[in-house]
Amino acid sequence: MIVKMKQVTLLTDAKYRQATLEQLRELGVLHPQIVERSSSEEIQQTESELERLDKALTFLEEEETGQTPPKGEEAKTIIDAILGLADEKDELSQALYKLIETRHWFERWGKGSYTSIQKLKKAGVYCRFYTATKKDFEEFETDKMIQVIVSDQNIVRLVLISKSSNDKLEFKEDPMPEIEFDDLTSEIDHIEGEIKRINRSFAEMQSARPLLLDQREKLQKELEFNTVAASMEGSERIIYLQGFCPQDSVKDIEKMAEEQGVGLIIEEPDNPEAVPTLLRQPKWLRIIQPLFDFMGTVPGYKEQDISLIFLAFFSIFYAMLVGDAGYGIVMLAGTWYFARKNKKAPREVFRLMYLLSFTTVLWGLFSGTWFGSEALSKLPVLREFIIEDIYSFSNVNQAVLMQLTFIIGAVHLSLGHLIAAIKKINSLTAVAELGWIVVLAGIYFVANSLVLGKEMPAMTAPLILSGAGLILLFANFQKNIIKGVLITLGNLPLDIINSFSDVVSYIRLFAVGMATVIVAASFNEMAVGSGIDSVIGGILAVIVLVFGHTLNITLALMAVLVHGVRLNMLEFSSHVGMQWSGKKYNPFRK
């Protein structure tokens, strides 16, 4: 359920700004409206500190070390130390890069002596190093003294030896580095040692990560406080802050205002788009929230909470897309294992996975799908649960399965229009939503005929026409009925075609589920199709089975995200009229 909100305006004396905000934060029920304005000095300083802290955290591993956090050390001191080491490492890394580039010269030319070359130069003998292609070198003619150092299939490296510093060749020059090879190697070793020393220091500072995370939380709260303070508008004397509060928490703000002598205005929100969304659901339904959080979707304040239908149909989609009872049992076991290993993690994720895994086991049980093995499905106990019309290894029931997906699609989308009708219950436009339900019934029969070749019932055309008539009359109902009809008529044919494609799109539940079974069966055939006649053969079979089914489970889970979520978020939501345009209720609190 989406909680009803009230718009709250607090007025106070400017000199009590800090005290009022402290009390408001202690209360923790107001979602403030942040006014976009130039940052204050406090905001800029806090943002700068947060930026430095976040940069410092990037040099510490996320894994917990079990070490005792340092005591008596300020976070700022640790941040300064980490960033100082980071700057030093950056300078060393740049120097190391240049030295390694220099070493490449010796790798190309050999370990020549820069000192010797300088001695020759003092004696009036000049050496220049050049690189040429083999073709250019073979065509090259000169009376100058040259010495080939390296020659391979494509490249020739040569030295020009002359008594004049002005003598040059037309080839690409590759000057000798001004360092001895042994000195270069020693310098590289030294810098690499220094970098290792810095990395060890980072490792030693790992225990400070919890301290820095605590400081980060404090800075974020401080930034929030300063941002809210900067959003208080008004005159030099009286300032005010606006925000939104759950209707059942208004009494708490009223009590605070009375105790603190703060002016208070409570009213209905004048702009629903600005109102945050607070969902309050029973514990058993809250398990769908992790999926919404993962997708980053929040219903708008004036939209509908479709959590129940979303959860129910997503469970069905999940079961059909994964489609294998064996995989469902693996997921149940994995969920149980990770739930025990992560006792501090939110329980909703694990409860959701328990539900999805259980529905997968049920679908696999009724469709006779156990790790894609037809032989397992025929075991005496398991075959008793098989429903022949959805049996995965039957060659004659595909039309039934596709028809089932059309039924699911028509029902799912019809529920969407029913929700929209309930939302518009005080308006005649609700009748148009009921008209869409009638149209979807006709579209279901059309899908059966066009896709499955079934005979179209005589009621199909009357259903579509009567539903379309209701839509034409009431979708844009107004005093000028003809004008409303003409407005609706412009888009109605395309909307009906889109509804047909939406219903047919549910066939993906059959197609992807069948693909999962086929892939599993193929890996089974690869592993044990011709039998196992040796130990090595058995080991290879196990490897193929583990790899194959792990890959298949992964692909099935990806299909759930692509197809299962899509059917709820796009097809269904569009028929409800949802845009998921909301922003999450985030009260100002400690």
Q: What is the CATH number of domain 1-36+232-275?
A: 3.30.70.120
Is the confidence at residue 66, as pLDDT, over 60?
no
Is the confidence at residue 536, as pLDDT, over 90?
no
In order of 85, 543, 544, the CA distances from 537 in angstroms are 55, 10, 10
If you average pLDDT over residues 155-172, what whole number do you get? 92
Query: Which of the four pLDDT bands, split at 50, 70 and 90, describes residue 68?
Result: low
- Angle CA(193)–CA(197)–CA(201) in degrees, nearest 5? 170
If you average pLDDT over residues 181-197, what whole number do you get? 95
Residue 399 to residue 417: CA distance in whole angstroms = 27
Is the confidence at residue 259, as pLDDT, over 90?
no
In order of 320, 339, 360, the CA distances from 357 in angstroms are 11, 14, 5
Is the confidence at residue 102, as pLDDT, over 80?
yes
Residue 129 to residue 116: CA distance in whole angstroms = 14
Query: Which of the four pLDDT bands, split at 50, 70 and 90, describes residue 97?
Result: very high
Query: Which of the four pLDDT bands, split at 50, 70 and 90, describes residue 16?
Result: confident
- Please name the residues in contact with 236: beta carbons below 8 A apart, sequence gap of 6 or more: 14
| Helix ranges (DSSP H) in 12-113 | 17-27, 41-57, 75-109
Exposure string of 60-82, with b = 16+ CB inside 10 Å and e = fewer, is beeeeeeeeebeeeebeebbeeb
So what's the pLDDT on residue 40?
Answer: 74
Is the confidence at residue 70, as pLDDT, over 70?
no
How many Cβ atoms are within 10 Å of 322's Cβ, its own excluded? 30
So what's the pLDDT on residue 67?
Answer: 60
Mean pLDDT of the chain: 91
Q: Which of 61-70, 131-140, 179-188, 436-445 has the lowest mean pLDDT?
A: 61-70
So what's the pLDDT on residue 39?
Answer: 65
Is the confidence at residue 95, as pLDDT, over 80?
yes
So what's the pLDDT on residue 74?
Answer: 82
Is the confidence at residue 61, as pLDDT, over 90?
no
So what's the pLDDT on residue 63?
Answer: 67
pTM of the model: 0.78
Q: Is 456:446 a contact under the CB 8 Å cutoff? A: yes
Residue 310 to residue 196: CA distance in whole angstroms = 53
Residue 414 to residue 441: CA distance in whole angstroms = 8
So what's the pLDDT on residue 530?
Answer: 67
So what's the pLDDT on residue 344?
Answer: 84
pLDDT tens figures, 132-150:
999 899 888 888 999 999 9
- Please name the residues in contact with 471: beta carbons below 8 A apart, sequence gap of 6 or more: 432, 435, 436, 439, 488, 492
Is the confidence at residue 531, as pLDDT, over 80?
no
- 125 vs 478 pLDDT, higher one: 125
Query: Which of the four pLDDT bands, split at 50, 70 and 90, describes residue 455?
Result: very high
| Residues recorded for the chain | 590
Is the confidence at residue 331, as pLDDT, over 60?
yes
- 396 vs 175 pLDDT, higher one: 175
Residue 341 to residue 331: CA distance in whole angstroms = 15
If you average pLDDT over residues 375-404, what whole number do you get? 92
Is the confidence at residue 318, as pLDDT, over 80?
yes
DSSP string, 89-139: HHHHHHHHHHHHHHHHHHHHH-S--HHHHHHHHHTT-EEEEEEEEHHHHHH
| Helix ranges (DSSP H) in 369-491 | 374-377, 380-383, 398-423, 429-452, 460-474, 481-489
Is the confidence at residue 235, as pLDDT, over 80?
no
If you average pLDDT over residues 414-420, what whole number do you get? 95
Q: Is 252:29 a contact under the CB 8 Å cutoff? A: yes
Run of H or E including 211:
helix 209-230
Instruction: Estimate the crossing angle of helix 209-230 against helix 17-27, to 10 degrees.
Output: 120
Give the domain ranges of the chain: 1-36+232-275, 38-99+185-230, 113-175, 286-576
Cα 299 to chain center, whole Å? Answer: 18
Q: Which residue has the tokens 């339900």?
A: 437
Is the confidence at residue 260, as pLDDT, over 90?
no
Q: What share of the chain is helix, strand, coil (3-state, %, to 5)?
A: 65, 10, 25
